[in-house]
Chain A
Amino acid sequence: MKYSEIIKLNNLLERQMNGGEYKISILSNIMVHQSKDICEYLLRSESLNAKVSMGEYDNIVQDSIKFQNVNAIVLFWESCNFIDGLQFKINLFSNYELENLIEKIKLEIDIVLSALKNTPLVIINRFSSLIFDQFNLSESNLKRLSDTLNAYLETNIGKNFRLFHLDGVISRLSIKSATDLRYYYSSKTLYSVDFYREYFKDIQHFFLAANGKAKKALIFDCDNTLWKGTIGEDGIDGIKIFQEIQYLALHLAKKGVIIGLCSKNNPEDVDNILENHPDMVLKNDDIVIKKVNWENKVLNLQSIAAGLNIGIDSMVFIDDSSFEIGLVKQKLPDITVFQVPVKEYEYGLKMHQIANLFFNLSETNEDRFKTQMYKDQAKRTKEKNKSLDIKDYLTSLGMVITVYSDNLNQASRISQLTQKTNQFNLTTKRYTESDIKGFILSDDKIVLSIELNDKYGPSGLTGLAILCKKTFKIDTLLLSCRVLGRDIEYKFIDIIVDTAKKNNFNVLEAEYIKTHKNFQVEDFYNKCGLDIINENNDSSMYALETKNFKYKNIKYIGVEDGR
């Protein structure tokens, strides 16, 4: 798409956006102002209401303090412009001069890292000498300088920082089309519009992950998608396994991405391959959900989403048939689809690109167990379908929730829950790990977290309530979608009311803030018996006299104190 069209569409999108602004500031020591519209346009197309502000030219240190309160920072810090003309001056620098320059920049880095230590997300492009070193036969001082400073960054950045390899983007495009040296010499504009298009396509995954928009499930067709050939016709000996694709999928599965199958085949044929083909990388244990039958794929994908309790927009579907891809995209516009490239050798790199959609800013221990947890969820859903009386079913699960209060060890996972939970989330407030630590340590807030165990195993930390103690108000209430449909939420409200009483509050206040994903909890507080006291289009306020509260006293959920 042409640059002028991006500007135009970005202006149109801006008017259609709703929800809070996601504020990004781009700081730089070169001119980068073409990046604004391109960054906003890409993120707004993913329904993230991004608003980009630009720092002053070559003012990174002061700007890092000025802009520290935004949601995210992108930093273009180019070694070639530390000093005007450095790329040609630096090779005549004495060791002393070079050391001095390194010390000066390190000092500036220290100030910037400290100023941005609480900004939720900071993306720093690694220092690079690629552009001006492309003809060098021996290592240049610019390269030495860049390497030294990159090493310094690596050892000093906090968890909210991401170092990004700019060189990957430049190489993909070629230096010639990624840069615009004419404008670099006339006005310090180093990068071309082509560069920004490609660059933001890469780093958008950081922003999307920070906003709970990373994809969760990768669903494969089988024939000509996981292997070459058709089992029905070629048989187990006639197919060739796409090992690169399956290795990449397995890597994603280990990081907590749900892998599923949706294929028109005889289920026993596919099982035969999974169990008996010697080259298969993905095994039955790695695949959380299988819809192998002769039904319509749209229905199968819908049933996969329902079975896993995730949104259609969290799913990515890969198929070799343009017909199936077209049909699925038409009926389920929110799903992300990819067709297997006609040229087989392009499939591997395509898969690397697809893997970025699942990028997760904080991979914790629990992610590695997630495959098992989602499998348990799928098993539970299966049993739910079998058993008619839901209460019998829930009783049969033997659920026990463990309640933790102000547990500092869980701060990282708790912050992740606020970042990633969209559906059962009454206020959708996103908090960083340091926010959560602050709440836990302060006397004004109580952070209640719950873990769920049942006969199928632990579901991990799956529920969170942040309670303010000034007036007793529920600031945040959320449950991970893995545990929905099991009345945990009602037990949780009982616990919250008890906590209010224990702290001698007679009135409990609560709020529902509407987003386009949390529709299912719109009347949750009503159902719990709270009185609505104020209502407008986007939010409702509730209150409850605790002495009038009717406990649900759900017998089939046990409660344990986790402290």
Chain B
Amino acid sequence: MEDRVKKVMSDVFNIDIKSINDGSSPDNIENWDSLKHMNLIIALEEELEIEFSDEEIGDSMNYALIVNILNSK
């Protein structure tokens, strides 16, 4: 699952998959603005066939948090 999240993040933000770590967030990924955040959520939902709640969308603000949320589902 972690690999698929990284893959989607690297596609959506157009960055190297190896550069993604627990702390990857809008602070260090230039492309990660509020519009791209929506694209990321939509792409993740499609890839993993899950649905984020509004709260989870707001909380998914770095790689580690996204993985946590997905693990709890």
Binding site for B on A (CB under 8 A): 2-5, 7-8, 11, 31, 33-34, 182-183, 186-187, 189, 193
Contacts and interface: CB of A to CB of B under 8 A. Distances in A.
Contacts of B38: 31, 33-34, 183, 187, 189
Nearest to B8: A4
B64 interface: no
B35 A4 contact: no
B7 A4 contact: yes
Contacts of B25: none
B46 A4 contact: yes
A3 B8 CA distance: 9
Nearest to B41: A183
Report, nearest first, the 10 A-B pairs whose CB atoms are least far apart: A8-B11, A4-B11, A4-B43, A4-B8, A3-B43, A11-B14, A7-B11, A33-B35, A3-B46, A2-B46
B39 interface: yes
A186 B54 contact: yes
Contacts of A7: 11-12, 14, 39, 43
Interface of B is mostly: helix
Nearest to A37: B39
A444 to B, nearest CB: 44
Nearest to A185: B54
B47 interface: yes
A182 B38 CA distance: 12
Contacts of B57: 186
A11 B13 CA distance: 10
Given A33-B35, A187-B38, A193 B11 contact: no
A34 B14 contact: no
Nearest to A33: B35
24 contacts: A2-B43, A2-B46, A3-B43, A4-B7, A4-B8, A4-B11, A4-B12, A4-B43, A4-B46, A4-B47, A7-B14, A7-B39, A8-B11, A11-B14, A31-B38, A33-B35, A33-B38, A33-B39, A34-B39, A34-B42, A182-B51, A186-B54, A187-B38, A189-B38
A2 B47 contact: yes
A31 B8 CA distance: 22
Interface in B28-66: 35, 38-39, 42-43, 46-47, 51, 54, 57
B11 A5 contact: yes
A8 B9 CA distance: 10
A7 to B, nearest CB: 5
Contacts of B42: 3, 34, 193
A34 B40 CA distance: 10
A31 B41 CA distance: 15
Most buried by B among A4, A183, A193: A4
A60 B8 CA distance: 32
A189 B57 CA distance: 14
Nearest to B34: A187
Contacts of A11: 14
Contacts of B35: 33
Given A4-B46, A31-B38, A34-B38, 17 more contacts: A2-B43, A2-B46, A4-B11, A4-B12, A4-B43, A7-B12, A7-B14, A7-B39, A7-B43, A8-B11, A33-B35, A33-B39, A34-B42, A182-B51, A183-B38, A186-B54, A193-B42
Nearest to B58: A186
A4 B57 CA distance: 17
A31 B34 CA distance: 12
A188 to B, nearest CB: 11
A186 B8 CA distance: 23
Contacts of A193: 42, 46
Contacts of B51: 182
Most buried by B among A2, A3, A31, A189: A3
Contacts of A8: 10-11, 14
A33 to B, nearest CB: 5
A33 B37 CA distance: 11
A187 B37 CA distance: 12
Contacts of B43: 2-4, 7
Contacts of A189: 38
A4 B11 CA distance: 6
A11 B14 CA distance: 7
Nearest to A5: B11
B15 to A, nearest CB: 10
Contacts of A34: 38-39, 42
A283 B54 CA distance: 62
A432 B7 CA distance: 44
Contacts of A182: 51
A476 B8 CA distance: 46
A2 B7 CA distance: 12
A178 to B, nearest CB: 14
Contacts of B12: 4, 7
Most buried by B among A31, A182, A189: A182
B31 to A, nearest CB: 11
Nearest to B39: A34
Nearest to B54: A186
